[in-house]
């Protein structure tokens, strides 16, 4: 009788353990997607689109939380310090992982040691926009104008260490011209400066600049990706216009806290992969100027490492440091 009671007790404990494990299978409660930039921007639109589909597939609410500030580093740090249980996920452009760390004196997180990469979902690039009054209809004409006015032509950016800033610095060196960098607090005021003529050009978000190209206030001369943008199929990338190697293409990574268990990371990866395999989702990402491009965790980790080295070297050569 005692043996029977012991076996019954063990069976009961095992049953409860199985039930608890089933309840803890990710996700068993709402999941938070942290976007480290303000609401309404391209990244926020992407996060809400993907979050909605994730919620539908998983049957759990996906909560989008915008934690903006310090070029994305505040939101990134919030995820790095979160519980490693899969319920706080970073969905970001790679700016706070590879560009800002290249110019920041100190960061509260290590972009390689404090995160576990899941995947990169897409890539995006900037357009080279010039004020129509500048008179440049081609990249060659822009270079000629810059060389005729050394140190006078200015370009704007969303801030020191931003993609637009790095693109401008690369362009200066590749073209052999001197231009003034004018940083602004965000892409919107930087674009406004190009529109008003405060600066002559900007490497800006394609979706942001296109309405002004259509109105005739701006011209778009090139894109900074490896290929033409789906939104600008007739506009050639800079690498096809005599600037080999001039590629500034941002990834859109998904990251977890570093010590997230393998089983949870695998479940998160599978969930995002299912979303990115959806043709309708890919089409909607293309409509906002992004190119769906799945990179797995290992590929993303290698890319982050390579980009950190690349941007750190450019920051060193150009003397770029973030303001303290």
- Please determine, for residue 148, whether its predicted confidence score (pLDDT) is greater than 60: yes
Q: What is the mean pLDDT of residues 143-172?
A: 93
Are residue 117 and residue 257 in the same domain, yes or no? yes
The answer, yes or no, to whether the previous bond of 27 is cis (omega within 30 of 0) is yes
Q: Per the domain annotation, does 323 fall within a domain?
A: no
Closest CA to 251 of 122, 158, 118: 122
Tokens found for residue 87? 């319920």
Domain membership of residue 19 (yes or no) is no
Instruction: Give the residue carrying structure tokens 């299912």.
Output: 274
| Boundary-marking domain end, from 182, 215, 240 | 240
Angle at 211 between CA 208 and CA 213, to 5 degrees: 105
Establish if 36 belongs to a structural domain.
yes
How many residues comprise the chain?
A: 324
Residues 235, 142 within the same domain:
yes
Domain boundary among 195, 210, 240: 240
Same domain (yes/no): 108, 254: yes
Q: What SS3 state is found at 28?
A: coil
Task: For residue range 178-205, list pLDDT tens digits in order.
Answer: 999 999 877 888 999 999 999 999 999 8
Looking at the structure, do residues 104 and 138 belong to the same domain, yes or no?
no
- Tens of pLDDT, residue by residue over 112-140, are 999 999 999 999 889 999 999 999 999 99
CA-based max dimension of the chain: 100
Q: Compute CA distances 18 → 28, 136, 213, 265, whole Å.
A: 14, 69, 60, 21
Strand, coil or helix: 257 = strand
pLDDT given for residue 98 in this prediction: 96
Residue range 160-184, pLDDT digits in tens: 888 999 999 999 999 999 999 999 8
Alpha carbon distance 8, 105 (integer Å)? 62
Domain at 42, CATH number: 3.40.190.150
The structure tokens listed for 172 are 């200066």
Question: What pLDDT sits at residue 170?
Answer: 94
On whether the CB atoms of residues 228 and 69 are closer than 8 A, the answer is no
CATH number for position 218: 3.40.190.10
**Higher pLDDT among residues 113 and 320, named by residue:** 113
The fraction of the chain above a pLDDT of 70, given in percent, is 92
Q: Among residues 240, 275, 297, which one ends one of the domains?
A: 240
Mean of the pLDDT values across residues 81-89?
98
| Number of C-beta neighbours around residue 309 at 10 A | 12
30 and 86 Cβ atoms separated by less than 8 Å: no
If asked whether residues 226 and 148 sit together in one domain, one would say yes
In contact, 197 and 130? CB cutoff 8 Å:
no
pTM of the model: 0.84
User: Residue 307 is part of which domain span?
Assistant: 29-123+250-318
Tokens 């890319």, residue located:
303
In a domain, 273, yes or no: yes
Specify the number of domains making up the chain. 2
With vertex at residue 75, the alpha carbon angle to CA 185 and CA 275, rounded to the nearest 5 degrees, is: 110
Could you tell me if 265 and 118 are in contact, meaning their C-beta atoms sit under 8 angstroms apart? yes
């Amino acid at each position: 009788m005692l043996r029977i009671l012991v076996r019954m007790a063990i069976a009961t404990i095992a049953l409860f353990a199985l039930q608890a494990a089933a309840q803890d299978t990710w996700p068993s409660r709402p999941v938070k997607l942290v976007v480290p930039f303000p609401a309404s921007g391209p990244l926020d639109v992407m996060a809400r689109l993907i979050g909605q589909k994730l919620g539908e597939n998983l049957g759990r609410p996906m909560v989008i939380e915008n934690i903006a500030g310090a070029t994305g580093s505040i939101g990134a740090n919030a995820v790095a310090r979160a519980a490693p249980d899969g319920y706080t996920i970073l969905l970001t452009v790679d700016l706070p992982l590879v560009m800002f760390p290249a110019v920041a004196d100190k960061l509260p997180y290590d972009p390689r040691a404090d995160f576990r990469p899941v995947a990169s979902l897409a890539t995006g690039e900037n357009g080279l926009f010039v004020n129509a009054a500048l008179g440049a209809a081609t990249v060659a004409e822009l270079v000629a104008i810059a060389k005729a006015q050394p140190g006078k032509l200015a370009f704007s950016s969303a801030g020191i260490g931003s993609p637009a800033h790095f693109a401008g610095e690369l362009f200066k060196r590749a073209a052999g011209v001197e231009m003034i960098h004018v940083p602004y607090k965000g892409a919107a005021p930087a674009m406004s400066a190009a529109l008003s003529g405060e600066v002559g050009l900007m490497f800006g978000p394609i979706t942001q600049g296109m309405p002004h190209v259509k109105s005739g206030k701006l011209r778009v001369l090139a894109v900074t990706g490896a290929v033409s943008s789906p939104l600008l199929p007739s506009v050639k990338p800079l690498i096809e216009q005599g600037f080999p190697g001039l590629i500034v293409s941002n990834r859109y990574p998904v990251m977890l806290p570093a010590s997230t268990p393998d089983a949870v990371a695998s479940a998160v990866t599978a969930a995002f992969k299912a979303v990115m395999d959806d043709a309708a989702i890919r089409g909607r990402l293309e409509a906002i100027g992004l190119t769906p491009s799945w990179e797995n965790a290992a590929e993303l980790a290698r890319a982050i490492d390579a980009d950190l080295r690349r941007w750190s070297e450019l920051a060193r050569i150009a003397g770029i440091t973030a303001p303290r």
